[in-house]
Amino acid sequence: MLILLPPSETKRAGGSRRPLDAAGLALPQLTAQREAVIAALVGLSADADEAARVLKLGPTQRGEIAVNAALREAPTMPAIDRYTGVLYDALDAASVSAAGRRWLGAHVLVHSAPFGPVGALDAIPAYRLGAATSVPGIAPLRRLWAQGVSAAIEGLDPRFVLDLRSEAYVGLGPVPAGTASRYVRVVSEAPDGAVRALNHFNKHAKGALVRRLAEDRPRIGSAAAFVRWADAAGLRVRDIGGGELQLFA
């Protein structure tokens, strides 16, 4: 099973002194796209006012410009530790066992805007860039990433993909049509049986789900196998067809 996670706007600072190795990240066939985005962000950072406009930074956020300027030399840490926020706080990868972290490294890709999908244990620097941002000097991110990311996922030949990304990041690299997958939508059920999608708890439920998977480390090769595991784990999921799975929070 391959799990696709979204990134988070908030990130942990610091890391090891080892700089980013774009070619050493998962899916090395995406190195050219990665280098193009990195170069564009570093170049953009030379004009603070323009960078603030493009990245939609307020006066108190201008420190993010220096973060992007230092992308090639900045400290790095595993992607699964770099991100903070509701999903990653619920996952709490730092407290996962060593075996669980190895499982995350083997089964999880985090889809970033500047680096594309990276392995959970791939070392990345902090950065500021969202999926919807148009960066001067390069093609729109959707056009730059989508075809290459889809081909890279197809090349992994996963038996089953569990897609926990937001729709914006799905647009930067759809799961290939021929790959068995399910897009996960977190929902709640009202007393009258009506089902509605959730916002804040959507992220928490996804993080908790991935943590449970890392703890159990099941062998899952299909949507049906995932549903069976979830039922046994006390989670309520429903495969509603059309490539979508509902996770009840």
Q: Does pLDDT of 249 surpass 80?
A: yes
Cβ(167)–Cβ(131) under 8 Å? no
Q: Are strands 181-189 and 161-163 parallel, antiparallel or unpaired?
A: parallel
Q: Please compute the mean of the pLDDT values over residues 112-141 and round it to a whole number.
A: 98
Q: Please compute the mean of the pLDDT values over residues 222-244 and round it to a whole number.
A: 97
Q: Model confidence over 78-111: pLDDT tens digits?
A: 999 999 999 999 999 999 999 999 999 999 999 9
CA distance 53 to 161: 36
Q: How confident is the model at residue 213 (pLDDT cuts 50, 70, 90)?
A: very high
Q: Please compute the mean of the pLDDT values over residues 127-132 and round it to a whole number.
A: 98
Structural domain that includes position 69: 2-248
Q: Model confidence over 44-65: pLDDT tens digits?
A: 999 999 999 999 999 999 999 9
What total number of domains does the chain contain?
1
Q: Model confidence over 156-206: pLDDT tens digits?
A: 999 999 999 999 999 999 999 999 999 999 999 888 878 888 777 899 999
Q: At what angle do helices 31-44 and 141-156 cross, to 10 degrees?
A: 150
Q: What is the mean pLDDT of the chain?
A: 96
Q: What is the DSSP string of the chain?
A: -EEEE---S-B----BSPPP-GGGSSSGGGHHHHHHHHHHHHHHTTSHHHHHHHHT--GGGTHHHHHHHTTTTS-BEEHHHHB-SHHHHHH-GGGS-HHHHHHHHHHEEEEETTTEEEETT-EE------TT---TTS--HHHHHHHHHHHHHHHH--S-EEE---HHHHTTSPPPTTS-EEEEEEEEE-TTS-EEE-SHHHHHHHHHHHHHHHHH-----SHHHHHHHHHHTT--EEEEETTEEEEE-
Please give the distance of CA 145 from its chain centroid, rounded to a whole number.
14
Q: What pLDDT does residue 199 have?
A: 74
Number of other residues whose CB lies within 10 A of the CB of residue 167: 10
pTM (2 decimals)?
0.96
More confidently predicted of 66 and 194: 66
Q: At what angle do helices 31-44 and 48-55 cross, to 10 degrees?
A: 120
